[in-house]
Amino acid sequence: MAPSPPSDLRVLCSKLTTISQGKLPRALPLLTRHIVRCKDTLSASLEQKSKDDGSQSAQLVLKLRQSITTLLKGRDREARFSAIVLIKAVVDVGGWEMLRISEPWVVGLLPIIQKGDPFPAKELAAVTLTRIYMLLQPYQTLVREIATRTLPTFIAACLQLIKPRSTGQGPSAPLSVVETIIHVFSTLIPIYSTTFRPFGSQIRSAVKVYLAPTLSDDLLIPHSLQRAARKVVISLHCVAAKSGGSEEWAKMVDSLLRELHATADQVLRAVDESWEGTSGYNRKRVDPDGEPSGGSSSGDQLPPWSGLSSGSERLVGIFAYISDCLRYPTKAPVVIPVGALLDAVSRVCLIARLSSKRQSWDQAVDTIAAIGREEKEELWSAIPDIHTSALGLVSILLQRLGRGLVPFVPEILDHLVRVFKSGISNPTTRMTGYKLLGGILTLAGPTMSKATVGILEPLVAACCRDLQEDAGFLQPSPKAAATSKNDSNKSSLANADLFLQPKAHTTEASVQLDASHKKAAGDLLAVFLSSLPQHHLKPSLRGLLDKTAILTQNREAMLSSVLNPYKDQRGRMYPSILPHLSLQYPQDQGVEILRSNLRTSSIPGSLDLLASVTEIEQEEEPDEADEGTGDEEPNGKEYISEPLHGIVKPPPGTVNLPIQNNPFEIKAVKSDALFVETRATAHSFTKRKHEDADVTPSKRQELNKPAPAKSPEAAPAEGHEDDSDSDVSVHLNMELDDEEDEEEE
């Protein structure tokens, strides 16, 4: 591509000389647009410029460089700020041609960080220098000439900005500038690890106050700064000599685990713990006198703290710190101490209640009598946050290790269910539990046993309740409504405002979930229907899942329900929610593909079905094993089926749950068996050719008698083990609308 004409370059040089230095910051958007348009000219080699435009382009580029250098060395702060912006723009678009002549700019930018320019100029200068050092990295000659000479000075100048002024005080720069400098270090350390090696201890000491802050600190540290500080300390293992990065990373994680258990000894001193360490970390008895305290003033240790609230915050911060160690990449392969990490998680998760409503903490946990009640109450209020941070660490382990964590799934599920029951009233605990359970089910859900699926029922019910409450479909129970009405009548004598809005106190306020909470619950709903063995679910729970998917219009959950039909232990299929999915998403291509696979050709004298099928007449002999149970289906059950790419018709024995006033019914849609089951009504569209020969009139009348309708959530049979212990009452109406029924008639 030929270089762009030098008109933009000529205008740019003209404006830099004519605009006063005080007005240059306002003109920077226009000037940077001119620079972007001059990309081809600035990035072209000197020989290419001479060949295309003679010496005019080269002269204009030289004039632009001189103008920027003059602004950078000027006395006005506005001029220096404008020069910083122009340098970054020119380097970004100019490539190697601008980098090879950037040494004067680098030397001019360093004093801006060191001296008395405003903090925005210092921050922008640090970002510009970082960009130059990153672009220099592929060119070793330029690295030796520019980066190696100036980078130590740049690191020292940045450290002066972020280090605390004195013990217990914050830095001289604003926290936003400190966060930018820390991101600069995180970016450059993996690239120039040898140059950063002498500054490792200084960086760690400068940012330690931001790693796991507590109430004992004088600063309020934002969450983004905490994450940035942890990242830069974790990346310091890259500066280790030779191949020592893996050992440094392992030492850091080991020190964090020891600090976590030391902090837990202080925070949990009111609890008579039953936990015993299995990975070399054991609990220690602490003095019950005085306040809990910990930390150290040394450069490599976390700052000191005092008080139970500060200790709980430090415990949460260490869990997050270890999670970040697993989240960020490492220089070399490392050994993750999975056993030690799960051991630390189990220590805090064992302190839980069986039920947040039926059991108090004093009843659920053995406590130390020497500890006062106030400290115990403060601990109980901090336990949900500690549980949430521990589950967050497990979630990061699951993301990092994937299938490697399968052997630990039973232990993780045990901790998850215990923590969820204990903190079910806490929205953050529920959201964290939903995210973790979704990852576990995606990994190992199809292999779970019936007992394992049974312990997940509280999470299934809570997920459905959260979604239905957010959608506004849950109504107060009659008992609660009556109580509210009685209280309203009693208090109306003393409060005249109740006469103005008498219904406001009997209507339950709608619950709105956070966006992340709602997304976690919605994703988990679809995973319940796709990854759990459906035959292990109780009929009431499966009906609750289908009902929630329909009411909340969750496409993924409804599609998973259609593709994973419910079949009880007796082999009876429950109705599909495909009609609801088709009504709610009529234009969806995925739903249309599913419907097109079920579309039928018209049968003479009958309605059009949803799939192209062929009537198959089949005589079904009664199963000898089922004789006398009272659940026998009449002989001669009709299947309408057409094999699609090897798909066979369903085996006999499928329960018929007809939709009212609908002669045909879709019974199930499976990935390996796609079929439609029908039952003839009083005005059947088909006749059996051999009926008169094999069946007597009384038998024919018995066969043509329609079976009683059953609801999807109805118990399959009396004495069935899955139906007798149902805890959830679900009423899922699968009937068609009255208007559609009239049209079909």
Give the global pTM: 0.77
Instruction: At 667, give phi and psi (nearest 5°).
Output: -90, -40
CA distance 545 to 529: 8
Residue 485 · residue 506 · CB < 8 Å:
yes
Residue 644 has pLDDT above 50, yes or no: no
Tens of pLDDT along 12-23?
A: 899 998 898 888
Q: Is 351 buried (19+), middle (13-18) or exposed (0-12) by CB count in 10 A?
A: buried
How far is Cα 424 from Cα 458, in angstroms, rounded to an integer? 9
330-339, 401-410, 569-578, 592-601: segment of lowest average pLDDT:
592-601
Decide if 690 contacts 517 (C-beta within 8 A).
no
Min mean pLDDT across 566-575, 595-604, 625-634 is at: 625-634
Residue 58 CA to residue 172 CA, distance in Å, equals 44
Residue 460 scores a pLDDT above 50:
yes
Burial letters 594-616, b for 16+ CB under 10 A, else e = bbeebebeebeebeebbbebeee
Q: With the C-alpha atoms ordered 440, 446, 448, 450, is the resulting torsion angle positive or negative?
A: positive
Specify which of 277-281, 289-293, 529-533, 652-656 reaches the highest per-range mean pLDDT: 529-533
Task: Report d(CA 3, CA 635) in Å as an integer.
Answer: 85
**Choice between 380 and 606, residue whose per-residue pLDDT is larger:** 380
pLDDT of residue 708: 43
Confidence of residue 347 (pLDDT cuts 50, 70, 90): very high
243-253 pLDDT, tens digit each: 788 999 999 99
* CA angle (723 as vertex; 718, 724 as ends), nearest 5: 75
| For the chain, percent of residues with pLDDT exceeding 70 | 73
The CA angle 507-728-551, to the nearest 5 degrees, is 55
Residue whose structure tokens are 């699968």: 734
Q: Is 294 helix (H, G, I), strand (E, B) or coil?
A: strand
And the tokens for 600? 């039928």
Average pLDDT over residues 282-309: 86
pLDDT reported for residue 437: 96
* pLDDT band at 664; cut points 50, 70, 90: very low
Longest Cα separation, the chain: 112
As a whole number of Å, the CA-based R_g of the chain is 36
In the predicted model, is pLDDT for residue 380 greater than 90?
A: yes
Q: Is 37's pLDDT higher than 80?
A: yes
Residue 262: HSE in the Cβ half-sphere, 13 Å Cα cutoff: 15
Mean pLDDT, the chain, whole residue set? 78
The pLDDT of residue 630: 39
Between 33-37, 329-333, 510-514, the lowest mean confidence (pLDDT) is in 510-514
Amino acid 652: pLDDT: 42
Q: What is the pLDDT of residue 400?
A: 94
Pairwise pLDDT comparison (232 vs 590), residue with the higher score: 232
Which pair of structure tokens corresponds to residue 581? 């999915």
Alpha-helical segments (H) within 532-632: 539-551, 555-563, 578-584, 589-596
pLDDT at residue 139 tops 50:
yes
For residue 171, give the DSSP letter: B
pLDDT above 50: residue 690: no
Do the beta carbons of residue 338 and residue 257 sit within 8 Å? Answer: no
Does residue 133 register a pLDDT over 70?
A: yes
Q: What angle do CA 477, 483, 489 make, to 5 degrees?
A: 135
Q: Which of 450, 441, 426 is nearest to 524 (CA)?
A: 441
CA distance linking residue 414 with residue 539, whole number of Å = 24
- Of 528-537, 560-569, 705-714, the poorest mean pLDDT is in 705-714
**What was the pLDDT predicted at 505?**
43
Convert the pLDDT of each residue in 50-97 to its tens digit: 555 557 888 888 999 999 999 999 888 999 999 999 999 999 999 888
Residue 320 — very low, low, confident or very high, per pLDDT cuts 50/70/90?
very high
3-class secondary-structure state, position 305 = strand
Within 8 A by CB and 6+ apart from 43, the residues are 93, 94, 95, 96, 97, 98
Q: How confident is the model at residue 195 (pLDDT cuts 50, 70, 90)?
A: very high
Greater model confidence, 640 or 568: 568
How many CB atoms sit inside 10 A of residue 311's CB? 29
β-partners of residue 271 are 367
Q: How many CA atoms lie within 13 A of 270 on its CB side?
A: 21
3-state secondary structure of 636: coil
- Contact (Cβ atoms closer than 8 angstroms) between residue 141 and residue 147: no
Average the pLDDT over each of 24-38, 319-333, 439-453, 697-711 and give the range with the smallest value: 697-711
